[in-house]
Amino acid sequence: MKGFILKIIFVITTLVFTILGFAQQPEKELDSLKNQLKSVKGKERIDVLIDISKYYWDVNPDSSIIFAEKSLKEAKADGSNDAIGDAYNALGNAYSSKYQNETALNYYLKSLEFRMSNGTLLKIGNSYHNLGLVYVELKQFSHAISSHNKAAEYYEKAKQYDLQSYSLYSIASLYNQINDKNKALEYAFRALNIANEKKIDELKANLYNLIGSLNRDLKNLELAEKYYTFAFKEWKRSKNISGLSIALNSLGIILDEKGDFQKALEYYSKSLDIATQLNDSSGIATAYNNIGYLYDRINEFDKALSNYFKSYEISVKTHDIDAAHNTLNNIASTYLKQGKLEKADEVLRKTLKNILNVEDPAYKQETYQLLSELNARKGDFQKAYRYKAIELAYADTLYTQQRLSSIAEMQTRYETETKEKEIELLKKDVELKELQYQKQKSFQQVLVSLTLLLLVTFIGTSLILGIIQKKNKQLAEKNKELYDINQKLKQSEKNLSELNATKDKLFSIIAHELKNPFNALIGFSDILKLNFNHLTDNEKKEYISVISESAQNLYKLLDNLLQWTRAQTGSINYIPKKFKLEPLIKQEVVNLNANAEKKRINVSVKASPTISVYADKNSIATVIRNLLSNAIKFTDIGGNIEISASESKEYPKMAEVIVKDSGIGIDENDINRIFQIDGSFSTKGTANETGTGLGLLLCHEFVTKNNGKIWANSSKGSGSEFRFTIPLA
């Protein structure tokens, strides 16, 4: 059963998108659409161009962009905010279909700007919805939640309650994704209340299923079973066969966990029947695997193996490598429980042949755990120990991934909670003013009462004072709440101030480094423009060379700035994998060989050909390229540069790369701040080369992201030695 449960979430999301019409509209005949262009004008023509762009989403994204751009051109000529907003939205959709999400985001924001000025509530809601989707792709979950909240508000104003309910469903799914289950339940119930009130039956089953899954994660198994049953009934009423299969599988899992194996088996069997009816190979394999897992738990091993083998055969036919590997692990586990060590050994040998193609590290960890157990039972403790070490290495990798994921989830939850607390603060302020008004009003009532009732007894006076004390106590409590919230906001303000200071330092660097190349570009291009016919060919070549060098330096600055900014905002995907260092180093030496030859610098590589590392290859290539480029820049003509790579003696399980040059060196006052943004500076090279001042910042960022360290040893006039480490494979 392990490894198959999460597939339900993907199927559910797909069902909801289809139900509410956010999936691509049914394809129109392309020829028919193009023929319409000949006879329509204005907004109608723009809409046809947008429809053609939509047709190409899955067929040819580049063509989709072309027709969206044509719609924007005609919309601008038309001058209608409504048409321009629709055209920008079409461009956002086209780039989104090509997975260029940052570009799509810019166009969606422009679309929102024009749609806000036009005031069409439904289209504004759609723009916020699209922003929410693209923010999810960019992993900016707090922005995604905020956008879907806005979409829900505008859908409610437009009386599009089905879309409002879906937006709330999307927020619930996002909170589930960042592991805030209670918030996810809150929004799921808000969506369900609207669906019940407005009789939006097509969404109920999906909401029931989501609420069931959230309760299952929170270990509320009774509630999970209750809502899965509601989902089953809704899908049965609407005759949704795919939904019924999902509900039956979910109920089977719950009853399996509760220990009601007979009922769980009944649900799994029904799920198998439906998957067979739909010819859903993945669903059939999942059902057989779940049934096998259940029989294994009740020690009916022959039945377990029979179902496992059926699941394995289907996974192999459909080329589902991870599912097939998981099932083989289950088969081996069953053989071990039976004491059939030779058969378990045979199966595990099969898993080892294909283990490099398996993506899920948890499956690999389980394989090595089974191998360790097998060899321990066979008495081969040396092999058992070796496999246990590999298993623990995978466990460490999984723990690291989970920890990084947890940090990202906490950051997103912090951002969303900060926004909610800002809203809460405003509400508390209103409540405080109301309490102050009530206090004033109560005091006035006391004065009137004292004037009119001079003969009131001591008991009456005590009651009045009691009312005042109660109001004061409430006010004090509200003041304390407001104070606590203000303290948290001050801390947030402090964090923002620090970030703003870093931004100002970065802008200072950019402004300083942009000025020189732009001065050269403008100055020498003006000289060429005004004196072209009076200059000699050598002078023209000299000026053109200066312009070219300035343009190249400007490009390097912008490229380093873009990469550094993307690294800071988390837009770069780090995909660690195993690779050899020597070919990568040699490739970067070849790439920069022309620069070295200009200064007759000898570059030698002393890297062990056997050294393999586990890191993101692209970012490590960028580090080597920057360090080598710096070494060439600050080495005199005829100098030497040596790049070496070996296992680190100082840091176990790490490879160490050294870039050593015979250049001008670095002053000891600067050596400790060259990797810091407030210490970033640019120095001219030995041939007056200019730099961006951001290269070493980028190196520090990338090495740190790959779990390594970077440092430098140097003194003025004695050359420099830059070292960094990355994990060995």
User: In the prediction, which pLDDT does 523 show?
Assistant: 79
Strand order in the sheet with 710-714: 602-607, 640-647, 654-661, 720-727, 710-714
Query: Alpha carbon of 61 to those of 49, 66, 71, 98, 726: distances in Å?
Result: 14, 9, 15, 6, 38
User: CA 361, CA 369: separation in Å to the nearest integer?
Assistant: 12
Say if 650 falls within a structural domain: yes
Q: 617 φ, ψ to 5°?
A: -65, -40
CA Rg, the chain, in Å?
33
Q: Structure tokens of 437?
A: 């008004």
Cβ(551)–Cβ(543) below 8 Å: no
Q: Identify the CA nearest to 619 among candidates 557, 553, 704.
A: 704
Q: Identify the CA nearest to 722 among candidates 646, 683, 666, 677.
A: 666
User: CA 122, CA 156: separation in Å to the nearest integer?
Assistant: 9
Beta-bridge partner residues of 710 = 724
Contact partners, residue 69, CB within 8 Å, separation at least 6 = 91
Q: What is the DSSP string of 138-175?
A: TT-HHHHHHHHHHHHHHHHHTT-HHHHHHHHHHHHHHH
Does the pLDDT of residue 68 top 60, yes or no? yes
Q: Structure tokens of 619?
A: 């970012």
| Residue count of the chain | 729
Say if 597 falls within a structural domain: yes
User: CA 468, CA 210: separation in Å to the nearest integer?
Assistant: 49
Say if 580 falls within a structural domain: yes
Q: 711 φ, ψ to 5°?
A: -155, 170
- How much is the average pLDDT of 283-312? 90
Cβ(187)–Cβ(225) below 8 Å: no
- Give me the residue label for tokens 């009530």: 438
User: CA 231, CA 202: separation in Å to the nearest integer?
Assistant: 11
How many domains in the chain?
A: 1
Confidence of residue 414 (pLDDT cuts 50, 70, 90): low
Say if 637 falls within a structural domain: yes
Pick 642 or 510 by higher pLDDT. 642
Beta-bridge partner residues of 713 = 721
Highest average pLDDT, of 227-241, 387-401, 534-548, 574-588, comes from 574-588
Does the pLDDT of residue 580 top 90, yes or no? yes
How many CB atoms neighbour CB 468 within 10 A?
13
Confidence of residue 426 (pLDDT cuts 50, 70, 90): low
Least confident of 83-87, 270-274, 342-346: 270-274
- How much is the average pLDDT of 633-660? 92
Roughly what angle, to the nearest 10 degrees, separates helices 201-217 and 221-237? 160
Confidence of residue 407 (pLDDT cuts 50, 70, 90): very low
- How much is the average pLDDT of 73-90? 90
The dihedral over CA atoms of 515, 520, 525, 527, expressed in degrees to the nearest 10, equals: 120
User: In the prediction, which pLDDT does 527 show?
Assistant: 84
Least confident of 17-21, 411-415, 570-574, 659-663: 17-21
Say if 152 falls within a structural domain: no
Contact partners, residue 708, CB within 8 Å, separation at least 6 = 615, 654, 724, 725, 726, 727
Strands (DSSP E) contained in 617-718 are 640-647, 654-661, 710-714
Which own/partner contact pairs does 307-310 have at CB distance under 8 Å and 24+ positions apart?
308/334
Q: Residue 684: give its domain's CATH number.
A: 3.30.565.10
Beta-bridge partner residues of 578 = 614
Say if 196 falls within a structural domain: no
What are 306-339's pLDDT values in tens digits?
Answer: 998 999 999 999 999 999 899 999 998 999 989 9
Contact partners, residue 269, CB within 8 Å, separation at least 6 = 287, 291
Q: Identify the CA nearest to 284 among candidates 335, 255, 323.
A: 323
User: In the prediction, which pLDDT does 643 show?
Assistant: 95
Say if 9 falls within a structural domain: no
- Give me the residue label for tokens 């038309």: 78
Q: What percent of the chain has pLDDT over 90?
A: 30
Cβ(97)–Cβ(76) below 8 Å: no
Say if 584 falls within a structural domain: yes
Q: What is the DSSP string of 237-282?
A: HTT-HHHHHHHHHHHHHHHHHHT-HHHHHHHHHHHHHHHHHTT-HH
- How much is the average pLDDT of 30-39? 81
Does the pLDDT of residue 490 top 70, yes or no? yes
Q: Identify the CA nearest to 653 among candidates 701, 705, 615.
A: 615
Does the pLDDT of residue 154 top 90, yes or no? yes
DSSP class of residue 679? G
- How much is the average pLDDT of 538-551? 79
Question: Which residues constitute the domain of residue 655?
Answer: 573-727
What are 717-727's pLDDT values in tens digits?
Answer: 888 999 999 99
User: CA 651, CA 647: separation in Å to the nearest integer?
Assistant: 8
Beta-bridge partner residues of 641 = 603, 661
Confidence of residue 258 (pLDDT cuts 50, 70, 90): confident
Q: Mean pLDDT, the chain, as a whole number?
A: 82
How many CB atoms neighbour CB 533 within 10 A?
5
User: In the prediction, which pLDDT does 615 show?
Assistant: 94
Cβ(76)–Cβ(84) below 8 Å: yes
Q: Structure tokens of 349?
A: 């040998």
How many CB atoms neighbour CB 359 within 10 A?
9
Does the pLDDT of residue 21 top 70, yes or no? no
Q: Kindly report the CA angle at 460 between 456 and 464, in degrees rounded to 5?
A: 120
Beta-bridge partner residues of 615 = 577
Q: Structure tokens of 283?
A: 């669903």
